[in-house]
Structure 1
Amino acid sequence: MVREELAVRLNDREYTNWLKAGRCLLLLKDGLHPFITHHMSTFHRDLLNQNALLRKPCETSSCRPRGNKLSSPCRVCSEWQRVILRYHRQPSSTVNWDNCFPPHWRTDHWELAKAYMPRGQGKVKGADQCDASALLNLINYCGGFQSVDTKFVREVIRYRNELMHSSEFHMKDEWMKHYRVALRNLVRQFSHVPQMATAGRQIEEMLTVDLSVCISGLDRMDSADLDGFEIDSVSQWETSADLISQWEAELLQERLQELLHAADDDTTTWDAEQLMTLDGFLQANRDLGERFSAELQAIHSLQARE
């Protein structure tokens, strides 16, 4: 039954467009995080070498944001704050200080990185734990990434937001064409990074693969390469179904977390309509409703509070 329900969804072309576009973001994330880890480590080390005060420990060991404000930090953390703003490409925009634990700015490059990222990164310990949106926003806002043309980064961020905010989980073919160009332009910025070259090839394969299947699961897929093997037998289809189901779950999980996090945040306007649409979609697909039963309970609790 699970595979039958998945097969029905995969026979909806615009839904498979949504799924493939989202999978490309996961591939992009995997290609980006080694580069970003190395780059932020180097940027952090350079800041320490340029400023002796930054090499000193927090004077109280207790400087931390209250809400999203870093009020009355010690002399050292105040200097870190000044330097972070100096390298912020849009310092007049909201800086998410509540992502950070300032006493660790001296010793942990990732605590520095989180100052340039969207809210909700407080517990994240490294680039490999971030989604594509968080990593792209880091590159966009942190002036330490001088080698990257941010107009291409912002373009992919825009497409990512359109994708994740699609209430029906449907993307048209025309949208996919423009999205493909935006991804190519971005990947080209990292032609010197081996992991991004690999991600670029995987993205191209994903955008051309035909995920549509009939309910019996006996149709051959057009892809020559899905995670390294050809799809030419029922047993391989079974394996591929598990993979595709996993990709689908990762994307839906990301969207659920984004909506639920916004709903739990008193300072954020949350999208009740999108949450209800997602609730309806999950309940209409029994396999997904079972997989996300805990999240559905959380949605129903929020609706009961309204």
Structure 2
Amino acid sequence: MNHQLQLENKKYRNWVKAGLGLRYLKEGLEPFSDDIVRQQHVDILNSVKQTCNVTTVNCGNCNLKTLMPNHVRISSRNCPLGQANCNCLYPRGKIVCPNNVCGAIYDTIVTVHNSRPPAPFWKNTDVKKWCTDPWAVAKCFINAQGYAQKTSAAEIDCSGLLHVIINNKSLHSHIQCIISGNDEFCKTRQARNAIFHSVTMELEDSGVNDYIDDMIAILEDGKELHARPESVEAVKKLQEIKNDAFIITKETERDVIRAAHIAFDQKGKELEQKIATAIASIEMKSKEGTESREKAKAEFLETSRSAEKKLDNKTKVAIEKIQSCETSFLQKTKNSTDNLQNITEESIDQIKTAGEATIRKIRDAIRLPTIKEATSLKQTQEKKSGVRFESMPSMIRQQKHETNIYHREKIMPQQYGEDYERKKRGNNFYITILK
């Protein structure tokens, strides 16, 4: 298509007007953004002085990859501030700021980030400049790459400035608009992507007018922006764009197309970065998983060796105890055997002695009296009974266990107890003592 005919295409002109409107919006936001970013930086440094009890906030030694935040992860392996990939989740290899300031600034950035969960874009910042460069902190709130080398609002495009204001809760106190996702700031940020990512580079009349009205509403915010001279000047330019008679110069067109190309390149880099980040995240998690497995394996082996060593020691002690018990048992058994043998020998002797004594008693009990003893017994009985035994056998006969003593007269039973039998033979009486 002929260039002149393209400029006469109304939809194309609308697209150029919308791109030009973003440029005017940036001009109105630059000084305001610089002022509120510097003010927030001063507030952060003062807060760090009080929180960390330091007189000066100065450090240029820390690195984001190795910085240990002031907060620590909770037991469930979640960041207490809610950040998904917070440094607190991976404390291994992290170092506390030697000046005791960078960890506190890190915590502040995460805390005031407006997204849920908070997601500061750390690739845009340099921790070494946090204490001296306000935009080194502010760029953490631009959720897109390409701003790492920017040092002021003048070097940052309209989209970047909108990111800073929308994603930084501390800056919301400088605007009257409530950031909700459907407000003028958020809608204009989305419009910027729709404008510069358009393949046809065309817009309807209603579309361009809506975009420009939202830009004007931002610059006329009732808190601070509406009274700033650069905002007032930018609003005038935006209102001129809405006029159908507005003249688009070749220079203006070239600037808009260049901005669109930059936006395309930036979008491509963002996609590449997302892919690279995803790959790095997978590799990191894989590495962590491997390290965890190796650590678990080493701990298991160490535990096994320790348990085996303890088991060996316990087994050795148990064997020693068993051997000691066995020795003690054998000794006690020997002692018991010796004692039993001694007791047995003594008992045998005692039994033998008692047996001999018993035998003597039995023999004495069943021994037949001699003639002398029988004569003495006869005389004793005659005295007690008053009866004279006229005859007495000259011998005492023993028939089995019977002892016969012949009497002429009656025999007194009490003389022999109950174990006797009395019989009469002829004119004589005799008794049989039952043993």
Which of 24, 48, 61 lines up with 1:51 in the alignment? 48
The question of whether the paired residues in 2 share the 8 Å contact of 1:18 and 1:169 is answered with yes
The question of whether the paired residues in 2 share the 8 Å contact of 1:65 and 1:98 is answered with no
Which amino acid in 1 is paired with 2:174?
Answer: S
* C-alpha separation in 1, matches of 2:130 and 2:264: 31
The question of whether the paired residues in 2 share the 8 Å contact of 1:69 and 1:98 is answered with no
* C-alpha separation in 2, matches of 1:185 and 1:117: 22
Provide closer, same or farther for how the CA distance between residues 91 and 123 of structure 1 changes in structure 2, counting only shifts above 3 A.
farther
Q: Does 1:103 align with 2:138?
A: no
Residue ranges of structure 1 left out of the alignment (5+ in a row) = 211-221, 227-239, 270-306
Which of 123, 136, 141 lines up with 1:116 in the alignment? 141
Provide closer, same or farther for how the CA distance between residues 248 and 158 of structure 1 changes in structure 2, counting only shifts above 3 A.
closer
Shift of 1:200: 0.7
Q: Which structure: larger Rg? A: 2
Q: How many equivalent residue pairs?
A: 237
Structure with more contact order per residue of length (Cα contacts < 8 Å, sep ≥ 6): 1
Shift of 1:202: 0.6
Secondary structure at the aligned position of 2:151 is classed as coil
Shift of 1:140: 0.3
* C-alpha separation in 2, matches of 1:245 and 1:164: 13
Q: After superposition, give the CA deviation of every residue in 1:194-241 in whole Å (9 maximum; x if it has no partner).
A: 101111111111222x4xxxxxxxxxxx33xx6xxxxxxxxxxxxx74
Q: Does 1:183 align with 2:238?
A: no
Q: Which residue of 2 aligns with 1:299?
A: none
* C-alpha separation in 2, matches of 1:159 and 1:173: 14
Shift of 1:263: 4.7
Shift of 1:93: 4.0
Q: Which residue of 2 aligns with 1:230?
A: none
Provide closer, same or farther for how the CA distance between residues 263 and 156 of structure 1 changes in structure 2, counting only shifts above 3 A.
closer
Secondary structure at the aligned position of 1:191 is classed as helix
Counterparts of residues 1-306 of structure 1 (less than 5 Å): 5-52=2-49, 53=52, 55-58=56-59, 61-65=61-65, 71=87, 72=94, 74-75=96-97, 76-120=101-145, 121-145=147-171, 146-148=173-175, 149=177, 150=179, 151-189=183-221, 190-208=225-243, 210=244, 222-223=245-246, 241-265=249-273, 267=275
Q: After superposition, give the CA deviation of every residue in 1:119-171 in whole Å (9 maximum; x if it has no partner).
A: 22111111111111110010001122212213221121122222223221111
Provide closer, same or farther for how the CA distance between residues 266 and 84 of structure 1 changes in structure 2, counting only shifts above 3 A.
closer
* C-alpha separation in 2, matches of 1:262 and 1:117: 12
Which amino acid in 1 is paired with 2:136?
Answer: E
Which amino acid in 2 is paired with 1:248?
Answer: V
Shift of 1:96: 0.5
Which amino acid in 2 is paired with 1:139?
Answer: I
The question of whether the paired residues in 1 share the 8 Å contact of 2:113 and 2:119 is answered with no
The question of whether the paired residues in 1 share the 8 Å contact of 2:48 and 2:57 is answered with no
Identity of aligned residues (%): 20
What RMSD in Å do the two structures reach over aligned CA positions?
2.5
Secondary structure at the aligned position of 1:107 is classed as coil
Shift of 1:184: 2.4
The question of whether the paired residues in 1 share the 8 Å contact of 2:109 and 2:120 is answered with no
The question of whether the paired residues in 1 share the 8 Å contact of 2:125 and 2:148 is answered with yes
* C-alpha separation in 1, matches of 2:227 and 2:138: 22
Q: After superposition, give the CA deviation of every residue in 1:262-288 in whole Å (9 maximum; x if it has no partner).
A: 35425379xxxxxxxxxxxxxxxxxxx
Which amino acid in 1 is paired with 2:168?
Answer: C
Shift of 1:181: 2.6
Provide closer, same or farther for how the CA distance between residues 100 and 266 of structure 1 changes in structure 2, counting only shifts above 3 A.
same
Shift of 1:40: 0.7
Provide closer, same or farther for how the CA distance between residues 11 and 100 of structure 1 changes in structure 2, counting only shifts above 3 A.
same
Residue ranges of structure 2 left out of the alignment (5+ in a row) = 67-83, 88-93, 278-435
* C-alpha separation in 1, matches of 2:57 and 2:124: 21
* C-alpha separation in 1, matches of 2:95 and 2:220: 41
